[in-house]
Amino acid sequence: MLNEIEDILQQALQAVDAAEDLKALDEVRVRFTGRRSRLRRILGGIGDLPGDQRPSVGQAAGKAQRRIAEALEGRRLALERAAESEAAIDFTLPGRPQRRGHTHPLSATADELVDALRQMGFTVADGPEVEDEHHNFDALNTPADHPARDEQDTFYLTDGRLLRTHTSTVQIRVMERQPPPVRVLSVGRCYRKESVDATHHMVFHQIEGLYVDRGVSMAELKGTLTALGRRVLGGDTRIRFRPHFFPFTEPSVEYDFSCTLCGGRGNSDGGRCRVCRGTGWIEIGGAGMVDPEVFAAVGYDAEKYTGFAFGFGIERVAMIRHGIDDIRLFLESDLRFTRQFGSG
């Protein structure tokens, strides 16, 4: 008898839980606690039981009845509340506008540069941010006593590896892997031990290009960089080369784009241009013809092949493009900043 009561209780609780609306719940109530329910029959028959069973059966049946009543009441309240909140939705209220996400200004600039280079036949190559000295310095013909290797400029890991200081590492990785011709670009994060200020950061991004084949010349380098400048800074952009030195190129140049604000005149709003400081030019990055020593390090025949390479900081280009005056803004993820560059 006690087992039967327990059985009824479990069935009832399950049925209560499964009731999806008030009508179904009322049916459950009638079935398990109504006048013709099993439980009521048991309660009604207690007087006919042997005397020693009456108290325990009476108690168990009473308790089961109370627990079922409680479960019914709880479920009733929950169903009523759900029905109320559904009824409370006012479909005529104006919706809450959802902001659409958009590309970060740095990614947008990088995407355009990559796009322009891909249209010129460059494919995207990748390399690790944690590098070894071989790819970051040695194979790039950087002498052992070069100041860039200094602990004050480069982040070294305890195992001797380092955080790459430029994307030129990828040139070596690609040339080690495949024979010429090569026409690749690489974009990515670089690290230097800089004191952070408005124009320097210890984390920044570069884009790198490498083109090696028979008869590649500096004229093609100039044409490629001009096309890139025009794509991101406007169709009138001009370029100039200045002689420079890099261990991995010979000859090497630095290049400037004509100023986007004053158009290269050096003055705007009746005074000295604040973007180029009156020079008419904006410094962008480095480039040159791949040094034969670099070809030797990767096993390319420098008698047969020539190539150009270039690299520059993406932050700098994005800053000029959008008139941003502090490089730190790119990394801070402050929505008040990033939201200014979306269309929605």
Q: Is 288 in the site for ligand DAH (CB under 6 A)?
A: yes
Q: Is 208 in the site for ligand DAH (CB under 6 A)?
A: yes
What secondary structure letter does DSSP report for 156? Answer: B
Nearest distance from C-beta of residue 164 to ligand DAH, angstroms: 10
For residue 239, the cross-strand partners are: 257
Q: How do strand 182-191 and strand 123-124 relate by DSSP bridges?
A: parallel
Q: What share of the chain is helix, strand, coil (3-state, %, to 5)?
A: 45, 20, 35
Residues 2-61 that bind ligand DAH (CB under 6 A): none
3-state secondary structure of 187: strand
Of 64, 212, 228, 287, which lies in the binding site for ligand DAH, with binding defined by CB under 6 A? Answer: 287
Closer residue to ligand DAH, CB minimum distance, 8 or 190: 190
Residues 87-106 that bind ligand DAH (CB under 6 A): none
Burial pattern 302-333, b for ≥16 Cβ within 10 A else e, equals: eeebbbbbbbbbbbbbbbbbeebeebebbeee
The piece of 47-55, 69-77, 113-121, 286-294 that touches ligand DAH (CB under 6 A) is: 286-294
For residue 131, the cross-strand partners are: 162
**Total residues binding ligand DAH (CB under 6 A):** 13
The piece of 130-138, 242-250, 263-271, 335-343 that touches ligand DAH (CB under 6 A) is: 242-250
Residues 310-339 that bind ligand DAH (CB under 6 A): 310-311
**Of 255, 269, 270, which Cα lies nearest the Cα of 309?**
255
Closer residue to ligand DAH, CB minimum distance, 191 or 330: 191
Q: Please say whether the beta carbons of 147 and 135 come within 8 A.
A: no
The piece of 70-78, 230-238, 294-302, 304-312 that touches ligand DAH (CB under 6 A) is: 304-312
**Of 262, 239, 258, which Cα lies nearest the Cα of 310?**
239
Q: Is 249 in the site for ligand DAH (CB under 6 A)?
A: yes
Rounded Cα distance, 136 and 127, in Å: 11
Of 13, 286, 294, 318, which lies in the binding site for ligand DAH, with binding defined by CB under 6 A? Answer: 286
Q: Is 188 in the site for ligand DAH (CB under 6 A)?
A: no
Of 188, 229, 285, 307, which lies in the binding site for ligand DAH, with binding defined by CB under 6 A? Answer: 285
Q: Is 191 in the site for ligand DAH (CB under 6 A)?
A: no
Q: Is 122 in the site for ligand DAH (CB under 6 A)?
A: no
Residues 145-184 that bind ligand DAH (CB under 6 A): 166, 168
Cis? peptide before 147, omega within 30° of 0: no
DSSP 240-300: EEEEEEETTEEEEEEEEEEPTTTTTSSEETTEE-TTTTTSSEEEEEEEEEEPHHHHHHHT-
Nearest distance from C-beta of residue 155 to ligand DAH, angstroms: 15
Q: Is 201 in the site for ligand DAH (CB under 6 A)?
A: no
Nearest distance from C-beta of residue 246 to ligand DAH, angstroms: 4
For binding to ligand DAH (CB under 6 A), which residues are involved? 166, 168, 208, 246, 248-249, 285-288, 309-311
